[in-house]
Structure 1
């Protein structure tokens, strides 16, 4: 059974976190993938989820995107509690950028961006976009630097161009929450920098939108990152502002390796600590 959250005064809604994960546990095949994990994201905050392989980042991001339910604890996405709402309807209000996005057809950039309205991997059958949706798709495509590539097929795009097209797709529904799942995967240095510049620009243009970015590499974090959460073996090892969490001591503990963390021109760098 599904239910809608009761209406509330705008002042109450404005104070409500965009994302509120409380004491979550996720168990699969008798194994804890997440244990007592909490994360609260407010409007305008940009969180990074970091940790080694198997730390639980992907599992946590799936909960943030209403892709599943926790075994224990609670998850509120855009003020709606998982388990009490239609997940398909809720996912329509969350933008999700996954560079592993798969399609059946060799669609154009414009067609891919417009699938953000239907949440489908390919253009939905018997569905046509409105003039407003088409205009917004074109505007977003231009905003990520792909205006001249609007009619290009997916197969001829570079990995960096695909990543920027997926950002435009995620923004089509004007989401309050944007999830980026390792957006720099497979990019060369120039393409990565272009992508991160695009993310920083979008965050300036949409100051109320919150975001959560999963990555293994600190170098892949945009300078606009405001907060960070470190995971190891499904548990939170540190959480808070980026400046307080992305330190040599805390990152080394999360990855189980001595690292030196520096910040240059707003971006983070990690290197092995000399013994």
Structure 2
């Protein structure tokens, strides 16, 4: 089963990512991880990427981040075709946020953001002039955590760390920001702080494209415009959120009855019988 709820396009004005007939197979076993993936992300779009564990979400995000190559098909990111570009240079133009990032806990938040300028774990102080240092402060302010500038990263809360990592990723002025389960293990206040931060970020950067991997609709900000559902390595549905994040599609994606509701731009879902007014 597959559906493309928007007219399928590939390269064109504002194209940030274009995947065509992409397949990924595990070299050692031949296991199919992704199969026949066609997907276009344009400037200013904010995508949610959902699917059960093992559906291929992490692999798809790694392709977008130029961290691996497809087995078949083509992947174009920021106008560059994987296999014909120095991926080290391409990665420097992509913002990638994951809770698995190695960050020395003793570094203060401002220094962690600075390392985004050089793409390093440890700071390279000779590379940070006054303009770069000021930019790091401005990004902390944009994410509303400027008061954390001198606080060691290791003692920041989970939500604070997530926003520090986003600020770090933005140091390279990326056109594409990839977020791999940024809400992982956050409590309710921290989750809501991060949701609000993502909403402000989208409003303040109209050309920025984002892709967020999540397991929970409650983590999506009202700025999320599109969604893609993966099931067993294939696209089940993709397009505007109002067409994709529905009870029937999520039921098909996760294999159990799911009811979906939306209020003031926010989503929530639960497994159970469909209720009046559900999407």
Query: If the TM-score is normalised by the length of the shorter chain, which range does it land in?
Result: over 0.9
State the SS of the aligned residue for 1:140.
helix
Q: For residue 100 of structure 1, report the CA deviation from its aligned partner.
A: 2.1
- Is residue 82 from structure 1 mapped to residue 82 from structure 2 by the alignment? yes
How many residue pairs match? The answer is: 262
Is the counterpart of residue 36 in structure 1 residue 32 in structure 2? Answer: no
**1:132 and 2:131 equivalent?**
yes
2:123 matched residue in structure 1: 123
Contact 1:228/1:240, CA 8 A, preserved across alignment: yes
Q: TM-score by structure 2 length?
A: 0.91
Structure 1 consecutive aligned stretches of length 4 or more whose deviation exceeds 4 Å: none
Gaps of 5+ in 1: 1-12
Distance 1:209 1:16 in 2: 10
Q: Distance in 2 between matches of 1:183 and 1:262?
A: 22
2:113 is the counterpart of 1:101 = no
1:141 maps to 2:143: no
1:129–1:96 distance in 2 versus 1, CA, 3 Å: same
The residue aligned with 1:3 is: none
Q: Name structure 2 gaps, 5 residues minimum.
A: 1-10, 275-279
Residue 207 of structure 2: aligned partner = 208
Query: How far apart, CA to CA, are the structure 2 residues paired with 1:127 and 1:273?
Result: 57
**1:23 corresponding residue in structure 2:** 21
Q: Distance in 2 between matches of 1:248 and 1:257?
A: 10
Q: Give the stretch that moved more between structures: 93-102 or 194-203.
A: 93-102
- After superposition, where does 1:154-193 map in structure 2 within 5 Å? 154-193=153-192
Inter-CA distance 131–14: structure 2 relative to 1 (3 Å threshold): farther
Residue 269 of structure 1: aligned partner:
268
- Cα distance in 1 between the residues matched to 2:231 and 2:31: 14
Shift of 1:39: 1.3
TM-score w.r.t. structure 1 length?
Answer: 0.92
